[in-house]
Each structure stands twice: as structure tokens, then as C-alpha cells.
Amino acid sequence: MRNPLRVGVIGCGWFAQAVHLPILRRLSGVELVAFADPDSARRQEAGRCVPTAQPHADYRDLLKMRDLDAVIVSVPTASHAEVAIAAMQQGKHVYLEKPIATSVLEADRVIQAWTKSGVVGMVGFNYRFNALHEAARCHIHAGRLGRLVEVRSVFSTPPREMPAWKQHRSTGGGVLLDLASHHIDLIRFLFQQEIQAVQADIDSCRTDQDTASLELQLTDGLKVRSSFSLCAQDEDRFEIDGQTGSVTVDRYRSLSVELTASNRQSTRVSRIAHILTSPSAAYYGWQKWRSPWHEPSYQRSLQAFVSAVQGQQASSPDLMDGYRSLEVIEAAEESARTGRVVDGRFSHLFGSLGTERKLDSGEGP
């Protein structure tokens, strides 16, 4: 019988307490043996959730545990790179919440440490594991939409109280790192292409850089228009149009993917029933109801990390996927500063970390 994976959690803020600790506590094949946080109140809360785990005030002490196999890194964004690098240098497998760093320069160091260490390194792009996104990807690659024409996406939340570090881009805040990073990754996941050009507008309504609009062009010319905000309403939606049909994914308001097909003999559009091939909409609804924050992908993502460490599946999304998302974010920030399209020659090959960009004075992508 396989020994359980001995896991520690670094960072015991509200997200770790709502998601990581409860999931890991009951996840098959996992033993949650330790956690670390400098705040004594958060350590006490974490201890109530997992009383058998060993508490640490300093994450470095946790990393010194010889029988520790892997860590979940859920600290403030500005510390992501530092903690992940330290963990990998100690030979620990790492599940790193997004973004992997606050800048591409920092992310370079993360990737270099990862490649030297030989450990599994995954990034918390959990929405890849949402059944709606998986179903949409199947429809796209089965050719049910025909040639793709245009994509629109929106990801927003209402105004909420947030810690000081989340209110400033320089300390890891802002809507691009918080929300857009997910959709940038989903665009790569859904369409299996890289992002070639970026044009962006960024505004500060309540906090620094809390609203943004992006126009992205993929390598085959497909255009994606995305809006993100931390001061609007709860919405997470993709609309994907093709010549013979369209797919809508509404993560908050639907239990299924809506596939709409064009009648080839007329311009009428007939609606095919809400389709979610597997799992069924009923099962997906049950999973949502019983999941932390009603989002089943959190558990599936952590389970994928455990399986990757145990050699049962490839580690995906990995830290290079986090790197590529951060490259696009920095390109968007450059575009917003200059008012121009940023043609990004991004690191499409693993291990090729050079990032070269040029400004294009032409129209938007």
C-alpha cells in the first residue's frame, strides 16, 4: 500500500482556512502534518481545523521537517517567489497559489529553482479543473463550433474589504494578478494556443488597478476581449463564437454549458439543450453544493497535485503555465502605460526564459 503524501500548508489566511485545510484534511492519500503562519491567531484557527498537525510560526522551520514531502504555498502574493524557492531548494514538491510571483523577473528565479530541484511544481489555476471549462474545451476541439470567430470573457467581483497588500499592485494586488491571471490561463487551456499580442486599459476605481479591459490576439489570429473588475458584481463567464455554433460558460449561474448551433439552412439559431457531457449537470450541482465556496475545482486541483507527486499523472498546470500568464499580465501593463499594442514574443518553449517585447503602433489586436 502506498504511503500517504505528507503535506504542509504555508500561510493560514482566510483562503487556506476555507479551502486548503478542509480539503487536505479529507483528501485520500494525504496526511496534513504541519502548517505555518507568523500570526498566532491564524495558527490557532488552523489548529482547530487540523489539531494533529504541527504548528510553526516560521515557514523555514516547517521546511526543515525531514518527513515532509510537499507544501501548499498560500501566503501574500509578494512572498510567493521567496517561499516557493525556499521549499524547492529543500526538495519539497510545491503547489503554489497564483500568481507565481509579482513580476517576470521574480518568476525567472522561481522557474530556475524549479528546474534545478526536479520536484513537482504546480500553480493554483484550479478553474482548468472546473467541469464546465472541460466540457467547453471538448466542444471546441470536437469542431462543433466550426471555425472560431471571436471570444468574450468577464471575471468580476463586488467591492470587498481586503488586506492592505491587496490594495496596491506593487505589493501583489490589482485585478490582473487576482482575476485576469485565471482567464489568461483558461484562454491558453481552452484554445491550446499562445497569446501573441496584447492591448489593455487599466483603471483604479476603489483600489490600485482594480479594473481592466484586455484585447488579446492568439497565434492563429483569434481575438479575445476580456473585462475584469474588483468593484462590479460576481460574474465569471466565457462566450465563444464560431461559424457553426457558440458556447457559453457561466460558472456562477449555470450547472451546464450552453451550446447554441446555427441552422445551416436558415439564419435562425436554435438552442440545443444545456449540455454537460460528463459529469451530468445534476452531479456537478451536487459537487458545487458540497465544495468549499461551492467550487469543485479546488479539490480536483489539489488531488491532481497529489497524483502528480505520486507519479500517477503529469503535473499540469505547472509553474511554466504560471510564468506565461505573468508574461501576458506584464505585457498588458506595458500596453496600458504606452497606449499601444504590445507584441509579445513570449517563452513558448520550456526553459526559454527570455522575454522580448516590441511596441506596435498599429490598431488593436
pLDDT in tens, 9-66: 999 999 999 999 999 999 999 999 999 999 999 999 999 999 999 999 999 999 999 9
198 against 275, higher pLDDT: 198
Q: Give 211's Cβ-side CA count (13 Å radius).
A: 10
Structural domains in the chain plus CATH codes: 5-125 (3.40.50.720), 127-343 (3.30.360.10)
Residue 351 has pLDDT above 50, yes or no: no
pTM metric for this prediction: 0.90
pLDDT computed for residue 282 by the predictor: 63
Percentage of the residues of the chain whose pLDDT score is greater than 70: 85
Burial level of 41, CB count in 10 A (0-12/13-18/19+)? exposed
| Cα dihedral 263, 267, 272, 277 sign | positive
Q: To which residue does cell 517563452 refer?
A: 347
Residue-wise pLDDT for 204-254, tens only, equals 999 999 999 999 999 999 999 999 999 999 999 999 999 999 999 999 998
In three-state secondary structure terms, 197 is: strand
Instruction: Reduce the DSSP state of residue 47 to 3 states and report it.
Output: helix
Tens-place pLDDT, residues 155-168: 999 999 999 999 99
> Integer distance in angstroms from the first to the last C-alpha of the chain?
54
> Does 277 have pLDDT greater than 70?
no
Residues 6 or more apart whose Cβ sits within 8 Å of residue 125: 98, 181, 182, 185, 186, 189, 301, 317, 321, 322, 325
* Sign of the four-CA dihedral 177, 182, 183, 185: positive
**Percent helix, strand and coil across the chain, each to the nearest 5:** 40, 25, 35
Q: How far is CA 92 from the centre of its chain?
A: 21
CA distance 109 to 188: 23
Angle formed at CA 189 by CA 212 and CA 182, multiple of 5 degrees: 35
143-147, 187-191, 292-296, 357-361: range with lowest mean pLDDT: 357-361
Taking a C-beta distance cutoff of 8 angstroms, is the pair 322, 107 a contact?
yes
